[in-house]
Amino acid sequence: MGRHACSFTDGKNAHSVTMGEDAYSHTIGENSVSCALGYDSKVATRKGFVVIAEYEEDKKTIKKIHAAKVGEEILGVVIDADVLYGFDDDGIFTKF
């Protein structure tokens, strides 16, 4: 937890969660969940799921929580393995 926090896990069913602003969460194990809940955070996974918070313009209030498995979509963007995703400065969900 905390600003610029990083979390990485490897292994089946191994989950990663970050909650600070501008944080990074990445998992590579099968059926794992990579979760980033802080404003301006990023997520990536190899064989599992990503969960990410979308924020209101005030950058403090969560607007919606999005989740998808590799191969599925979040806001029209297909989640690829080992690619970093998040919301850009304009609030658009994108690859980084």
Residue 96 scores a pLDDT above 80: yes
Q: How confident is the model at residue 85 (pLDDT cuts 50, 70, 90)?
A: very high
Output the pTM of the full model. Answer: 0.94
Tell me the Cα Rg of the chain.
12
Question: What count of other Cβ atoms lies within 10 Å of the Cβ of residue 11?
Answer: 11
pLDDT at 1: 75
Note the pLDDT of residue 2. 81
What is the per-residue burial (b if ≥16 Cβ within 10 Å, else e) of 14-32?
A: bbbbbbbbbbbbbbbbeeb
Tens digits of per-residue pLDDT, 16-73? 999 999 999 999 999 999 999 999 999 999 999 999 999 999 999 999 999 999 999 9
